[in-house]
Structure 1
Amino acid sequence: MGAVLGLCSAAQLACCCGSAACSLCCSACPSCANSTSTRLMYTLMLLLVMITACVTLAPGLQNDLRKVPFCANSTGTALIPGSLKVDCDQAVGYLAVYRICFAACLFFVLMALIMIGVRSSKDPRAGIQNGFWGIKYLLVIGGIIGAFFIPEGQFAQTWMVFGMIGGFCFIVIQLILIIDFAHSWAENWVSKYEETQSRGWYAALLLAMLTCFTLTITGIVLLYVFYTKSSGCDLSKFFISINLILVVIASAVSILPAVQEHQPRSGLLQSSVVSLYVLYLTWSALSNASAECNFISGGNQSSFDKQSVIGLVIWVCSMLYSSIRTASSSSKITMSEHILAKEGSGGYGSIEGGDSGEAGRGGTSEEAKVFDNEADSVAYSWTFFHIVFALATLYIMMTLTNWYNPSSELSKENAASMWIKITSSWLCIGLYIWTLAAPAVFPDRDFS
């Protein structure tokens, strides 16, 4: 028993403080490629950053801090001299979110710079990418603590500009991932139906499509009910109507003979998923419309409104999808090959071989919990991966602080946020139509 615990402790020490890939020291965990385990570990780091940022916006936290004796504005017993007290207001609210995300973003930018030009895991910098997790977490924590000592000055205004640009760039990447998911889902289920000719797969395809379209139509009706009125709210009516027209056009394009000729598996399932996401973006935009056209909020102000929570859930799903997904044929037309691991190099096929576990480990495949699958070439662009995570950090920051109108008590009325989200919905439909039309417009290019 002691020997087992010793080996476990040694593995954890190598994972945290050395260049070894994270094996999680768990016999119940399945074996996986280091390209997958590394991306999951960075995703976990980003999730912890998001949770920490959310905690600083927790309702009532600022009032509770006033009871702490060492805070400058404490209402409690004066046990500590005033000269030794600190301003605890900077530890909560939107400024705290800015500082936390500033440190995390700089970490990923630094990692992106370090990983420029890495071609395989034989590069000496591969150990930095796949290991030293304890040191990395300490570096991020130290950066967050140091960020709270940055003078307020123009920090918030300047960093907000970077946040808006980076957050919008990540929205584009998230759109690509969602469209890739829609195509991959349809490709998988249609191929299984074609192989088996099973009515079960056909029924599943039909049920999924009808469910998404039903939710979309129901949502559009509710948007007209709760975000418009008979006289006025013309901009809200325009947004809902134009997006309804655009999703109908996109659905019609997906079943055109010219599109079907080049993409036989293209169909209404992808369109229904994209339509449902466009509905969410439209609702999210209208939630930031003027109060007179918003009959749900009732003037309430909250740091955590429903559309922000759903946005963060979609963000988490996108991050997990990009971490465990390998690129397929749809990735070439959705431009997501740099985000997703390449098939063959990235992963899951390598597990079946059995001898891959010895790569870079010197042990047997049964012993290896994480094996090296990037000895010949990297499965994904390491630099681009960290750039995406830096942009994801900025997206978290802007989502939690309501974009252009940052405040610890967030107002839902925000014209800039509304236009960013509605533009994202139009961009989503445009990208989806491009993925349908590209093979037909450029027949000489190989998209398969």
Structure 2
Amino acid sequence: MGACLALCSLASCASCLCGSAPCLLCGCCPSSNNSTITRLIFSFFLLLGTMVSVIMILPGMETQLRKIPLFCQGGTAVTDIENKVNCDVIVGYKSVYRMCFAMTCFFFLFSVIMIRVRSSKDPRAAIQNGFWFFKFLILIGITVGAFFIPNGTFHTVWFYFGLVGSFIFILIQLILLIDFAHNWNKVWVEKAENSDNKCWFAGLLSFTILYYALAFTAVVLFYVYYTQPEDCTEHKVFISLNLIFCIIISVVSILPKIQEAQPHSGLLQASLISLYTMYVTWSAMTNNPNRKCNPSLLSLVSNVNTTGPSADSTPGQVQWWDAQGVVGLVIFLFCTLYASIRSSSNTQVNKLMQTEKGEEFGGEGKVGEDGIRRAVDNEEERVTYSYSFFHFHLCLASLYIMMTLTNWYQPDTTTQAMQSSMPAVWVKMSSSWLGLGLYLWTLIAPLIFPDRDFS
């Protein structure tokens, strides 16, 4: 679907400059809803910006650019020419900050424009679902302008914007994972009950055991490698608390009263949330500036003790390939795709995400007079998702990508380097605790408010 989207959108720009989402994808994805295609294209914009950010932070990129004559300040070929590019800005963490700043501004702009759009009959809905070529030009224009922002305190200030935005986005990721787990469990249980094939139950049991095994293994490894007998008190507290909280939500999810109010709740959801919580815990501990409590992954694999800033990189250099960053990107890609095509039947999650229960991804489509099957406008009566909230979600995703690619390191304005920081640790840990609270709420809310619809 991603490749289909990329190729079709690029090929259609020339012939559909002001076209709608169905126009862009009529040939490749003809049996989809208009609302789904629009979200996929905006998600593609975000993924495109992410790809550019990854390229600009690749190891050796600055070295290669400096070899180009007349390009970089301090280039090897010519050193006395004015108006050359500052390669420190267009590569490394500075380029990531500027690229993600541009994407954040782009999606925030659309979030404001699309406030209170009720149906596709609203004139602003045409802006949401069309004019793709001009949207792309706007994004490019904002990106170019972002690279002219003076250094100053920009990176330090934007770092704290990234902390706040990423905190909220981690919670949204957890909501999407809760929704995914609920839908997954519901579909497989219904298939098992409606057929004689018990492999569905076996599959649910297998995945549940796998997730709990991975989570328990992670806890053991955390105690072994991220704590010291006489040090790392914070890590010991973090690991122990989250382990206790995961046990609590697992027990609550299978209580008889919870099962009666929430028939589709179970250990599958709790195991997936527990595993995600352990990932966030690990990600938080990797940002601890105390290197005794935060060994590099390379030192763990090669059994080499390091006491410097990092065994994987030189001081101040950003490691986008750090293991927790790679896992974070994978989860981000999954949640972004799922947010674009989701059609949840869970009323609680729909209210939290400001979406409506809609049709599943894909549809029958409409056949036009030219014989081409086109996407369906399924929002003539009312929108199936909040346009404004969706763009706000992508705005937060841009900030999360910025923090992930820079390993949540804090810019140092004096040395122009990047360093681990405790604010990033506390942001991640507090988001994990609040996320566990949200999941617990989805379990107990039907008991507290029995008259409300929590189907």
CA contact (8 A) 2:283 2:324 kept: yes
Deviation string, structure 1 residues 98-134 (Cα, Å, up to 9, x no partner): 1111111111111122212322112222221111212
Q: Deviation of residue 74 (structure 1)? A: 2.9
CA distance, structure 2, for counterparts of residue 25 and residue 384 of structure 1:
24
1:4 aligns to what? none
The within-5 A match list for 1:244-393 is: 244-289=243-288, 290-297=290-297, 298=299, 299-300=310-311, 301=313, 302-304=318-320, 305-329=322-346, 331-333=347-349, 335-338=351-354, 340=355, 342-344=356-358, 346-348=359-361, 351-352=363-364, 357=366, 363=369, 367-393=372-398
Question: TM-score, normalising length from structure 2?
Answer: 0.87
Residue 440 of structure 1 corresponds to 447
Partner of 1:3: none
SS of residue matched to 1:158: helix
**Structure 1 residue 421 corresponds to structure 2 residue 431:** no
Counterpart Cα distance in 2 of 1:253 and 1:159 = 40
User: 154-163 vs 93-102, which deviates more?
Assistant: 154-163
Corresponding residue of 1:215: 214
The alpha carbon displacement at 1:431 in A equals 1.0
| CA drift at 1:229 | 2.7
The Cα offsets for residues 1-41 of structure 1, whole Å up to 9 and x where unpaired, read as xxxxxxx9999257741132244557454510110111000
Cα distance change, pair 110–16 in 1 and its aligned pair in 2 (3 A): farther
TM-score, scaled to structure 1 = 0.88
Alignment counterpart, residue 402 of structure 2, candidates 379, 387, 397: 397
Residues 44-77 of structure 1: per-residue CA shift (max 9 Å, x gap): 1100111111222111222222222224533422
Count of residue correspondences: 427
Q: For 2:337 and 2:343, how far apart are their aligned partners in 1?
A: 12
Aligned-partner SS, 2:366? helix
2:5 aligns to what? Answer: none
- Contact 1:33–1:373, Cα closer than 8 Å, also in 2: yes
Question: Does the 8 Å CA contact 2:102/2:143 hold for their aligned counterparts?
Answer: yes
Residue 154 of structure 1 deviates from its aligned partner by: 2.5
Tell me the equivalent position of 1:93.
Answer: 92
SS in structure 2 opposite 1:291? Answer: coil
**CA offset at residue 405 of structure 1?**
1.0
Query: Counterparts of 1:20 and 1:116 in 2: how far apart (Å)?
Result: 20
Q: Is the 8 A contact 2:108 2:391 kept in 1?
A: yes
Partner Cα distance (1:16, 1:50) in 2: 25
Q: Could you tell me which residue of structure 2 aligns to residue 236 of structure 1?
A: 235
**More moved, 263-272 vs 227-236:** 227-236
Aligned to 2:43: 43
Q: For the structure 1 residues 337 and 103, does the alpha-carbon distance in structure 2 shift closer, same or farther, using more than 3 Å as the test?
A: closer
- In structure 2, the CA distance between the partners of 1:11 and 1:58, relative to structure 1 (3 Å rule), is closer
Q: Is the 8 A contact 1:16 1:135 kept in 2?
A: no
Report the Cα offset of residue 196 of structure 1: 2.0
**In 2: Cα distance, 1:311 partner to 1:322 partner:** 16
Helix, strand or coil: the match of 1:17?
coil
**AA at the equivalent of 1:196:** S
Cα RMSD (Å) of the superposition?
2.5
The alignment-based identity, stated in percent, is 48
C-alpha change, 1:334 and 1:276, in structure 2 (3 Å) is farther
Task: Give the SS at the match of 1:443.
Answer: coil
CA shift, 1:274, in A, is: 0.6
Cα distance in 1, alignment partners of residues 361 and 149 from structure 2: 45
Contact 2:287 2:408 in 1 (8 A): no
Give the aligned partner of residue 115 of structure 1.
Answer: 114
CA distance in 2, matches of 1:190, 1:347: 18
Distance 2:283 2:38 in 1: 33
Larger mean CA deviation between 398-407 and 251-260 belongs to 398-407
1:87 shift after superposition? 2.1
Question: Contact (CA 8 Å) 1:11, 1:25: kept in 2 or not?
Answer: no
Deviations 1:339-362 (A, max 9, x none): x4x334x5548x24xxx626xxx5
Q: Given residue 46 of structure 1, which amino acid in structure 2 is its aligned partner? A: L
For 2:444 and 2:360, the matched residues in 1 are separated by 30
**Preserved contact between residue 404 and residue 416 of structure 1 (Cα < 8 Å):** no
Map residues 1-150 of structure 1 onto 2, 5 A cutoff: 12-13=12-13, 16-24=16-24, 27=27, 29-78=29-78, 82-150=81-149
What is the CA–CA distance in structure 1 between the aligned matches of 2:427 and 2:15, rounded to whole Å? Answer: 41
Gaps of 5+ in 2: 1-7, 300-309
**Aligned mates of 2:204, 2:393 — CA distance in 1:** 32
SS of the residue aligned with 1:220? Answer: helix
Counterparts of 1:255 and 1:9 in 2: how far apart (Å)? 46
Note if contact 1:169-1:391 (Cα within 8 Å) is conserved in structure 2: yes
Give how far 1:398 is off.
1.8
